[in-house]
């Protein structure tokens, strides 16, 4: 089983709506992508790129952990909605993300049934805005989070 890196965040978790699924293991973003493509309805992926930062007022211990590649918090840089069927792999997503910014360290992911009409598209923009706002204040409990290599991250409150 793959290892998860841990980052610490300093705010409470909120519950998001989660679609019921059979038990599964995610060792890479591509596992998630395969599951999304197997859903009965086409899936729209909500993706938020984030950069690891030290919190304001950090301690010497927090800085030491941060320099070692652990700790810090993830600050959103930008967001996009993608149809799962249009992505072949995490490598495609990472390449596209790097075209926007090379500074990203992680991606937060949520999925929903693909909208059937244009009116819903505006709602997707609102959902992405809410997702970015929630990440800014640490409400990330039900988002999947992957590092720049596609490995799942476990976020902890510190």
Residue 22 lies in a domain: no
The 10s digit of each residue's pLDDT in 124-157 is: 889 999 999 999 988 888 899 999 999 999 887 6
Q: Total domain count for the chain?
A: 1
**Rounded to an integer, what distance in angstroms lies between the CA atom of residue 110 and that of residue 113?**
11
Residue 86 lies in a domain: yes
Residue 87 lies in a domain: yes
Q: Is the pLDDT reported for residue 6 higher than 70?
A: no
* Residues paired with residue 73 on neighbouring β-strands, in sequence order: 53
Number of residues that this document lists for the chain: 158
Residue 116 lies in a domain: yes
The 10s digit of each residue's pLDDT in 66-89 is: 888 888 889 999 999 999 999 999
- Interhelix angle for 90-100 vs 29-38, to 10°? 110
Q: Are 8 and 71 in contact (CB under 8 A)?
A: yes
pLDDT reported for residue 156: 74
Residue 140 lies in a domain: yes
Q: Is the pLDDT reported for residue 8 higher than 80?
A: no
Chain mean pLDDT for the chain: 82
pLDDT reported for residue 24: 65
The 10s digit of each residue's pLDDT in 110-129 is: 998 887 776 677 788 899 99
pLDDT-derived band at 28, boundaries 50, 70, 90: very high
Domain of residue 9: give its range. 5-14+28-157
Residue 45 lies in a domain: yes
pLDDT reported for residue 5: 44
pLDDT reported for residue 19: 42
Q: Is the pLDDT reported for residue 16 higher than 90?
A: no
Residue 20 lies in a domain: no
pLDDT reported for residue 121: 75
């Amino acid at each position: 089983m793959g290892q998860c890196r841990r980052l610490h965040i300093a705010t409470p978790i909120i519950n998001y709506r989660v679609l019921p699924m059979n038990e599964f293991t995610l060792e890479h973003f591509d596992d998630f992508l395969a599951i999304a493509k197997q859903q009965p309805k086409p899936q729209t992926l909500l993706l938020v790129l984030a950069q690891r930062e030290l919190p304001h007022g950090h301690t010497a211990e927090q800085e030491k952990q941060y320099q070692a590649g652990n700790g810090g918090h993830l600050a959103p840089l930008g967001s996009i909605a993608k149809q799962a069927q249009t992505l072949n792999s995490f490598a495609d997503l990472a390449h596209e993300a790097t075209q926007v910014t090379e500074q990203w360290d992680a991606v937060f992911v949520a999925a929903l049934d693909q909208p059937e009409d244009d009116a819903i598209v505006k709602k997707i923009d609102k959902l992405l805005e809410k997702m970015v706002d929630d990440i800014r204040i640490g409400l990330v409990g039900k988002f999947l989070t992957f590092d720049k290599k596609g490995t799942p991250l476990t976020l902890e409150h510190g």
